[in-house]
Amino acid sequence: VRYLPEDYQPTDEVRAFDIANDNDFIRLGVIYRQDRPIYTDIMRKMQQVSEKMGKPEILDLLKQFEP
């Protein structure tokens, strides 16, 4: 068991993949981290877009599937 080096960057996807596939040691620490929006932020944005667009008419939706 070994800790990750002090200068290790968990945002480096290629290096994280190499460490995850290294069978010589079990590594302790954050191997990979990706910053992305949280669920509530995404849902809030979708709600805002939905409010701007308004409610769709059912016939307009069905026309999308006509041959």
Computed over every residue of the chain, the mean pLDDT equals 92
Name the band, by pLDDT with cuts 50, 70 and 90, for residue 57: confident
Residues 1-13 have a mean pLDDT of 93
pLDDT at site 54: 83
Q: Is the pLDDT of residue 67 over 90?
A: no
Q: Is the pLDDT of residue 60 over 90?
A: no
Q: What size, in residues, is the chain?
A: 67
Burial of residue 48, with CB atoms counted within 10 A of its CB: 0-12 exposed, 13-18 middle, 19 or more buried: exposed
User: Domain boundaries in the chain?
Assistant: 2-63
DSSP code of residue 7: T
Element (H, E) at 28: strand 27-28
Model confidence over 37-54: pLDDT tens digits?
999 999 999 999 989 988
Q: Are 24 and 40 a contacting pair, CB within 8 Å?
A: no
